[in-house]
Every structure is written in C-alpha cells, then in structure tokens.
Structure 1
Amino acid sequence: MSMNDSLREAAATGNIDAFYALIQKDPYMLERIDHIPFIDTPLHIAATEGQIKLAMEMMNLKPSFARKLSQDGFSPMHLAFRNGHTKLLLRLLKTDKDLVRVKGREGMTPFHWAATMGNSNLLFHFLEACPECIEDVTVRDETALHLALKNDHLEAFNLLTGWLQSNRRRGANELEKKVINWRDDDGNTVLHIAAIKEQHQALEMLLYVGKYLDVTAKNSDGLTSREIIEKVERRGLNMSDATTTKIKHIKKGTHWHKRRLTMLVRARNGLSGDMINATLVVATLVITAVYQSSLSPPRGVWQGDNNSIPTTNSNTLQILDDNYNKSRFKHQLGVKKQGKPVQQ
C-alpha cells in the first residue's frame, strides 16, 4: 500500500495512531499537501466519513486545510454537511466560526447550503456563531434569503427575515435594509421573487418587515416589486384581507411599520432602568411573534410548519404599548419628584 493510500485509509477510519506513524516516516507529508491548491486533504476525508476525533486532530495540526477546496469545489464543512455529519459540522463551527463563510463551487457557503436545503436548525446555529454570514452572496448574487425562497423553504425564509428584524447588534438597521433589498443577477429582490412565485406567505412576511422595503427597485424585466404585486393581484392570488390592505399601503407609497417596538429595542442604550425593563418585555414578545412558525424553545430546534405566518396581534400591540407607556410614566413621575425637568 502506497503512502497516499495509507494516509487516506487512516483518515477515513479515524486511526490517529496510524496517522502519526505515517508522519514519523515522512514529517513533510502535510506540508506538501498544503501546497496543492485543490485537493482532498486528510481533513476532507475525515469530514466525509464523519471521523470527528481525527478531524479535530487535523484542525490542530493544519487549520489551513479547513479552507481548502477539493477538486470538486468543496471544503471540509461542505462535505460534512453533504454527508449528514451534523455533530462534526458543529464542532468545526465551534473551532472556527468563519468556516461557515468559506465559498465553494458557485460561491455557495455552508450557510447558503443550509438555506437551500431549508435546514432552519443549522441556519440558527450559523447565525448565532457568525452573524456576518447573512451578508454573503453566491456567484449569482443570491443571498440566503433568495435561496430559501427560490427553493420554497418558507420556514427557513421566515427564520432569516425574523432574525434580521429582531437583530439588535450595532448597525442592525443598515444591515436589514441592505439584505432585504439585495438584488440577484436578474435584478430580483426577495419581494420580486415572492411575487413572481406567488408565495403569499412570504409576501405577508415581507410586508410585516416592510419598513425598509424598496418597492421602486426594478429587475432585469424592468418591473418593480409593486408592479409584480399588482400583476399577481390581478391574477387573483388568494391573499388574506390583511395582506391586501398592506399592499394598498405600499401602492400609496407608504410603509406599514408597526415595527417601532423593535426600533425601541435597538435604541435601548442610554435608557433608564424602567425604560430598559420595558424594552426587555418588548423584545421577548416581538421575538416570540416573529419566530412562532419556526422556533421550538424547549429543544432549541426549529420546527414550525410552512403554513405558519408570524403575525402581530392587535391585542399584543396594545399590551406592548401599555407596558411602554406605563414605564415612561413611572420614569417621568420619578423625575418630577426629584424636582428635575422631565425628559421627552
């Protein structure tokens, strides 16, 4: 058996002792492999076979292997995903969170693959570990939102838009505006795609987060999202009354934005103790409303069905408004008692 065959067998079977025996015979073996631009490294082989211990050993010895692509255009994390080795995939993510952004063939990252396959559980883990991955695009300028919609994975799409909406990190407003209006190489935003594919659930979700929607953007056919929606409406798409009302608001050039609650959470820095308590109540209820079709809190696994649409009940909005107003009143009252002017 040749050295290459022995190395491949050791990686495939996870035999760490056999692997180090080969290193003793040829100390420069891994260095030579590292100089080859496209190759199945021992880490690629271990990832394909789900050999966690040997994969982690390779990550210690040669972390650069994790970013190499095979001759088929796949990184070790891509291969772990393709072969269903979720535990190994998450170990790789824990070791280096940016591996989820490594682009393989056609510019597809592991995050893009999760969106394409509708794997909401992995999407959640990826976003928690590496929020920046939501900005990555394929060679066709597709975001993960485009891929989820194009493949009819509405649960995954709801998760992604819900994450954008509830994100409270610095620059969240700009990020949401950028991603929600990103156009692929056909000039289509996700709103274009939802209208073209007549995905009324996705339309309702987008209109729910519609504060940042750009309805004037034209695709390669010269159509704006508004014009596509009008065409869909004329074809008699079976949309709810609530959706029809929201579409009318967009046609008038106004935005449906009961999202002041999320904006309050994002702007929470510098608030008083009472006001911060109010924002925490807001955050909890808003996130629950957004994720109700996909999140299963007890196990942390996303299990919503594609028929669920995140909605904001009018009673819930009233409760949130009441909590905010009560907290503001208490804050003002406390300031008055101290003889200081009330801050507006």
Structure 2
Amino acid sequence: MVRGLPGKEARESRLHQAIANDDVEDLHNLIEEEPELLDCVSKHPFPHTPLHLAAATGKTQVAVEIAILKPSFARKLNSKGDSPMHLALQFEHYQTVRALMTRDPKLIRVPGQHGITALHYVATKEGDDEVELLAEFLCACKSSIEDLTSRCETAVHVAINNHNVKAFKVLVGWLKRMNLTEILNWKDQDGNTVLPIAVFEKQAEIISMVIGHVKVYAKNLQGKTAVQMFKENPSGDRNLARRFRHKELLEKLRAFLVSLYFHKEDLDIRPLPRFLSRKLTLFEWLTIWFGLRDESVRDIILLVCTLVTTATYQAALTPPGGYWQDNSSNPPAHSTIVTANSSRIAVEEPHEAGNIILSGSSLYQFTALNSLIFLSSVCAICITAIPLLPRTLPVYLLMLTLGLSFFATATIELPKSADAEAISMTVIYGSLLAVAWFIPLHSWLSYKIYHCGIDGTRRRVGHFPELKNGK
C-alpha cells in the first residue's frame, strides 16, 4: 500500500512529539513504520535535522540515539550555519553537549557561522559552566586549539577580544602544559598575535601571562610590533614596562647572534621565502637523514644505543682477563718466558692487586676499540635527541658526565708504564666526546637563532623537524 502525504505528515508530527518527550522507544517505532523518515525530513541543503531539534531543546537521549543512527546529522549545518552542537551550546543544554562530545570528540571542531567552532563559542563566555566546558573540550580534542575562525582567530584570540580572562587563563595554562605555547604566536587576519591585542586593550593581566611566550617583535600588517604599540599606548604598570625593555634587549642580542651566523641579506623583513629557499641546515639535515622525525625510529635507535653503551661501559669495568687479586714483588726473569715452580704457581713480573692483567698491544687495542664503540653510541644518542631539544638538554649533560667517567676509568686502568699512551687516549677521545656533545647543540642553537626571526603572515611557521599530527 502506498503511503499518502497525510500519513507522512502525521509521522513527522509524531517524530517531533517523540523528540519533545525524549522518547527513544517511540522514535524507533516511527522508524520501523517509515525507514526513510529521518532522511525525508533532511533533504534540504542546509537542513534543520531532527538532531538539531533535539539538541536545541536539550533532549539528550533522543539526540544521542539520532547521532548513533545518523552520524552525518551531527556535522550538518542548518540555514543559520549552526550544527547540533552549536544549538545545544546556545540554549545552554550542556548535558546534551557533553553527550555529543563523548560520542564524537571531533564534533568540537565542526565550524559554524563565521567559522566558529564549539571551542571558540565557549571561549566567549565567562560563566563557570562554560569555562569548565572549555577545559573539557581541550582535553577531549587536543587539535581543536588549531581551528581558526573566518578571521583567522584562534580560541585564544577570541577570549582576548571578548575580555574573557577566565577562559584565557585556562587556554594559556593548557598550552603551557601541552608545550604548545607557539600557538600564542599565531596571527589573525590583521597580523596580530595575542600580545598586540592585549596591549591595545590594556589588559595588563593577560600581557603579564603571555609576554614570556610571545614574540614581542612580530609585526602586524600595519608594520607595528607589540613593543611599539606598548610605547604608543603605555600601561601604568611599571613591571610591564620593565619586562618590555627586557624583551627589547633580548631581541637586540638575537639580532647580533643572527648577524654572526648569517649574512645580512638573510635578515629581511619577510624572511620566510628566503628561509625556505636556503639549503638545509646541519640541524635539519641530521634530523631528516637519520629519520628522527619518526618516533618509532628514534625508539629503535635509542634502544640499540643504550644496549651498546651499557655493554661497552661494562667491558671497560671488567676487561678480558680481569684484574690481579694479589700483590707480587717477584723479580722479573732473565728471559721473557714465564716459568713455573713446583707448586705450579706462575712467576710473573711485579704487580699490585687491582691492576689489569691484560698488557701490551692487546690492552691498547682493546681499550681503543671499546672506547671507539662507546663514543659512537654516545654520538648516536646525542643525535637522536636533537629533534626534542631543548627538552633533552639533561640527556646531553648525562652523556657528557657518563663519557668523562668512562674515559677516566679507561685511563686509570692503564699501567703506570703507559702514562704517555693514557694521556694521548684521554686527549683524543675527550676531544671527540666534546665534539659529539657540541655539534648537535651548536646546530640546534644556530637553527633556532635564525628560525625565531621567521614571521609568517597568518598562521605559525612550524618547527619543521618536529611536525606532529593533530589528535
């Protein structure tokens, strides 16, 4: 039997009633009667789907059920550019918002009118409930912080523009804990980072929170830096003025260091094209050639190097043949042949307990080869730690300390008659250790000194050897 229009209208009316009553069972009964019911009411290019209706009225159970049956509805925008998540936020149905977020955290990233996502929306609100939601959004969907509005604004920009200090504190605190403070340097469509906006609005509390994490010399599209704007529109806070002067001195120091590393033409106002056109720096070359951007590769290299370092260090402590366990003052024989007495005890050259038994060229060959392998493994560990600098600085300090301890042990083990050889080995391997420790740090420092002057027009210029997938 062909169903007539009046029957369909009646079922749509019953559907609305089921949503109004938050009745999941009635919803399924209607779908059983008319399997295409949900699709029929959502054929408009910008439909106001049943999920929109349920979210707008705070009917959580039905909303989640429809999201399960029709996941695509959760991402559709109605004629006003609102998704179900946006509507639930606008009408303050936060239980529904949390239910939808739990079902699919990526719904936080759905852009609505003006490119505003759910994260942007709650960043405009100062209420305790909204601030709590903001924190939950960040934890549920880390990559949502990267979303931009149609004006290229991050959630941090949105919070500042709305004078929402509560939300800003949550955002900055989260960025610090996630080591994502570089996002504070992202620019809106006017070329402003969060600092110039805060300076212009005289938001002293916000300025004090970000001044240590934002480039004060980054220019907007009007060619003004935060320092210039601060001087034109000064705050009464003397501490802030002192911190801006401190930042100016640091910038002058950076410019001086850059001039030592690079040619004058590299210091253009817009250096990004020149930076990308340059040959790879030693830092980038080491990172790419060794495949260190891949976390699994780094793990394998570190595992093998750790085993090799441990084995070679242990070999230095327990060399072949071991150590003499007693003192002997027997005079050397007239010949180089070792004789034996009636007690079958060998007659050797004089020695002291604790001296290494291995001697001659065998001792030097063993020490040199073992030291070389140890040094190679230390070098590999230092290179592997490059992409995570400066967080891996403790690794370099530990490797330097371990290397010094190793070569001191190897030197002490050599007999006193080989003092010249011990000094030579100490100088050679100590120098190589210093080079292995210094080159990665030097290449990273030279890269960072130049890279910190790069100034993109809109979004940030990423730390290329350390690009991460958003999650």
Question: Matches of residues 202-281 of structure 1 in structure 2 within 5 Å?
Answer: 202-210=206-214, 213=215, 215-219=217-221, 221-233=222-234, 237-241=235-239, 243-254=240-251
1:185 aligns with 2:186: no
Alpha-carbon shift at residue 240 of structure 1 (Å): 4.4
Alpha-carbon shift at residue 332 of structure 1 (Å): 4.1
1:200 corresponds in structure 2 to 204
Q: Secondary structure at the match of 1:31?
A: helix
2:265 corresponds in structure 1 to none
Question: Matches of residues 1-344 of structure 1 in structure 2 within 5 Å?
Answer: 2-118=10-126, 119-168=130-179, 172=180, 176-177=181-182, 179-210=183-214, 213=215, 215-219=217-221, 221-233=222-234, 237-241=235-239, 243-254=240-251, 332=401, 336=405, 339=409
The whole-number CA distance in structure 2 between the counterparts of 1:163 and 1:91 is 23
Q: Give the partner amino acid of 2:405.
A: K
The whole-number CA distance in structure 2 between the counterparts of 1:124 and 1:49 is 24
Q: Give the partner amino acid of 1:248.
A: R
Unmatched segments (≥5 aa) in structure 1: 257-268, 272-323
Say if 1:330 and 1:189 are closer, same or farther in 2 by CA, change over 3 A.
Answer: closer
Say if 1:240 and 1:166 are closer, same or farther in 2 by CA, change over 3 A.
Answer: farther
Alpha-carbon shift at residue 114 of structure 1 (Å): 1.0
The share of aligned pairs that are identical, in percent, is 33
Q: Give the partner amino acid of 1:209.
A: H
Q: Is the 8 A contact 2:89 2:97 kept in 1?
A: yes
The whole-number CA distance in structure 1 between the counterparts of 2:186 and 2:252 is 18
Q: Give the partner amino acid of 2:68.
A: N
The whole-number CA distance in structure 1 between the counterparts of 2:94 and 2:398 is 50
Q: Secondary structure at the match of 1:113?
A: helix
Say if 1:216 and 1:57 are closer, same or farther in 2 by CA, change over 3 A.
Answer: closer
Alpha-carbon shift at residue 142 of structure 1 (Å): 1.3
Alpha-carbon shift at residue 162 of structure 1 (Å): 2.3
Alpha-carbon shift at residue 245 of structure 1 (Å): 2.1
Q: Is the 8 A contact 1:115 1:147 kept in 2?
A: yes
Q: Give the partner amino acid of 1:227.
A: Q
The whole-number CA distance in structure 1 between the counterparts of 2:28 and 2:398 is 69
Alpha-carbon shift at residue 34 of structure 1 (Å): 4.2
Q: Secondary structure at the match of 2:251?
A: coil
Map Cα deviations across residues 181-206 of structure 1 (whole Å, 9 max, x no partner). Answer: 22222222211110110011111111
The whole-number CA distance in structure 2 between the counterparts of 1:145 and 1:6 is 44
The whole-number CA distance in structure 2 between the counterparts of 1:332 and 1:67 is 56
Q: Give the partner amino acid of 1:225.
A: A
Say if 1:22 and 1:329 are closer, same or farther in 2 by CA, change over 3 A.
Answer: closer
Bigger mean CA deviation after superposition, 116-125 or 70-79:
116-125
Bigger mean CA deviation after superposition, 185-194 or 1-10:
1-10
The whole-number CA distance in structure 2 between the counterparts of 1:33 and 1:2 is 13
Q: Specify the structure having the higher radius of gyration (Cα).
A: 2
Unmatched segments (≥5 aa) in structure 2: 1-8, 254-298, 304-392, 411-429, 438-471
The whole-number CA distance in structure 2 between the counterparts of 1:11 and 1:164 is 39
Alpha-carbon shift at residue 137 of structure 1 (Å): 0.9
Q: Is the 8 A contact 2:74 2:84 kept in 1?
A: yes
Map Cα deviations across residues 50-89 of structure 1 (whole Å, 9 max, x no partner). Answer: 2221112112110111001122221111111112222221
Say if 1:62 and 1:255 are closer, same or farther in 2 by CA, change over 3 A.
Answer: farther
Map Cα deviations across residues 227-250 of structure 1 (whole Å, 9 max, x no partner). Answer: 1011122xxx22142x22210022
Q: How many residues were matched structurally?
A: 271
Q: Give the partner amino acid of 2:249.
A: K
